[in-house]
Amino acid sequence: MPLVAKNKEFKALHKYFTIRSQNPLKKKQSLIALCGKLIRVLHTLGTKQREYNANDVLGPERLAQLQQMAA
Mean pLDDT by 10 residues, the chain (71 residues): 88 90 93 94 91 81 79 64
Single pTM value for the model? 0.82
Q: What are phi and psi of 21, to 5 degrees?
A: -75, -35
pLDDT at residue 71, as a whole number: 64
Distance between CA atoms of residues 62 and 48, nearest Å = 22
Residues 6+ apart with CB under 8 A from 53: none
Every domain of the chain and the residues it spans? 2-70
pLDDT for position 31 = 95
pLDDT the model gives residue 34? 94
